[in-house]
Amino acid sequence: MKTIFHVDMDAFFVSVEELFDPSLKGKAVVVGGRPNERGVVSAASYEARKFGVHSALPLRTAYKLCPHAIFVDGHPDRYRDCSQRVFEVLHRFSPQVEMASIDEAYVDMTGTERLHGPPLRAAHTLHEAMRAETQLNCSIGIGTSRLVAKISSDQAKPNGILMVIPGQEARFLAPLDVRKVPGVGKVTERNLNVLGIHKVGDLAKLDESSLESRFGKWGLALAGKARGLDAGGWFDSEVGEDIEPKSISHEHTYNEDTSDSEVLEATLARLSEMVGRRLRENGLHARTLQLKLRYQDFSTITRAHTLEQPTQVDTEIFEEIRALFRKNWRAGRKVRLLGVHAASFEAAGPQLDLLGESKHERWEQALAAADRLRDKYGESAVSLASGMRGRFRERTHENPAGLPGKPK
């Protein structure tokens, strides 16, 4: 029998912003951007939530609901730092910690009783340690599975602790809306409601086979979840198993839609660079590159291409992405969003050409040097993308390979 904690930070982005600006405390705060910008709410303070503001709500809508709220931009680097501190606190309680996202974690506390006492006591100690060391509040759910721990931390919010006694899982879950089950979103909820299933208890009454015949593999997992089991996919894995990334992507939504091909291609160059840099930081080489294109009417296409040899080189990424863009963009149509996505990670293959050192490798060296400069002097110190319009014309006309120039 396992003891799993799910630790969920309360209003994480808002709380971190309050650490940097205590005057925000107790006020209606919306993190995500200016009220007149395109975009959605990343996080809202409990004060703002009283007015119906919640994450994923468009900023403009949030402004209508709560015009007196303070709108602040997000600071991803601050959140990453705090998240790291949260991890360090958790890691002292158990070696098996898994950050499920920037603001929540699973901790496998099985077998820690001698050190930390019974689960509820350990949770209180953890809660206080978190408060003392990060000045942040969290909620803790305790259960015999990830699923039950996760749902109980949600019920414990804000700033609470809730333990589901082993054996009581089904009783705890039965009265909850099916929507509370992780993985059941709007669409699945609607599909279940049509069948007269509203509560997790309704779901638990159905037999596995009828759920499987209606929803396939997912239905089978759902039957298990209704009984509090970690059924299917990710939920089955051990807490703290190293999970390496499967994809890296960057995308950008314009504040105003555009059909200017030079602007669009400059954006793709910048996004390709960002993806390349992340690949190099993580020591990854991607074989599949994907363009994402969203038009003004929100219709969205993705177009992918798989390379012979995996890459982490900006220009190689950009060339593929640009080719996909030129082949698939209906010229003249206004674009709302562009994205660059890299996946199918592999070890780099042998890249040697007849001269020994390949252009690919020379590029890798040049980029590694640029990365080091950026680390040292900041993000603006080196940019291959700035002034992209001019530069890429140079690259295509005078220097077709786009290689670093040799000294004259």
**Interface contacts to DNA, rule CB under 7 A:** 38-40, 42, 55-58, 60-61, 64, 100-104, 182-189, 216-218, 232-234, 245-253, 274, 278, 287-288, 290, 297-298, 300-306, 336-337, 339, 344
The minimum distance between CB 291 and DNA, in angstroms, equals: 8
- Is 142 strand, coil or helix? strand
Nearer to DNA, 123 or 231 (CB): 231
Nearer to DNA, 14 or 57 (CB): 57
Nearer to DNA, 52 or 118 (CB): 52
Task: Enter the DSSP assignment of 339.
Answer: E
The minimum distance between CB 98 and DNA, in angstroms, equals: 12
- Is 400 strand, coil or helix? coil
Alpha helices of 282-335 — where are they, by DSSP H?
Answer: 314-328
The minimum distance between CB 274 and DNA, in angstroms, equals: 7
Nearer to DNA, 21 or 73 (CB): 73
Of these residues, 47, 104, 273, 316, which one is catalytic? Answer: 104
| Burial (0-12, 13-18, 19+ Cβ within 10 Å), 197 | buried
Does residue 104 have an active-site annotation?
yes
Nearer to DNA, 3 or 42 (CB): 42
The minimum distance between CB 114 and DNA, in angstroms, equals: 32
Under a CB-based contact definition with an 8 Å cutoff, are residues 47 and 28 in contact?
yes
Angle of CA points 391, 263, 401, to nearest 5°: 30
Under a CB-based contact definition with an 8 Å cutoff, are residues 252 and 271 in contact?
yes
The minimum distance between CB 118 and DNA, in angstroms, equals: 27
Task: Work out the widest C-alpha separation in the chain, in whole angstroms.
Answer: 78
The minimum distance between CB 231 and DNA, in angstroms, equals: 10
Nearest to 154 by CA among 178, 137, 138: 138
Nearest to 338 by CA among 296, 389, 391: 296
- Tokens in use for 219? 């239905």
For residue 12, give the amino acid letter.
Answer: F
Nearer to DNA, 18 or 104 (CB): 104
Rounded distance, CA 253 to CA 39, Å? 9
Rounded distance, CA 353 to CA 400, Å? 18
Catalytic residues: 104
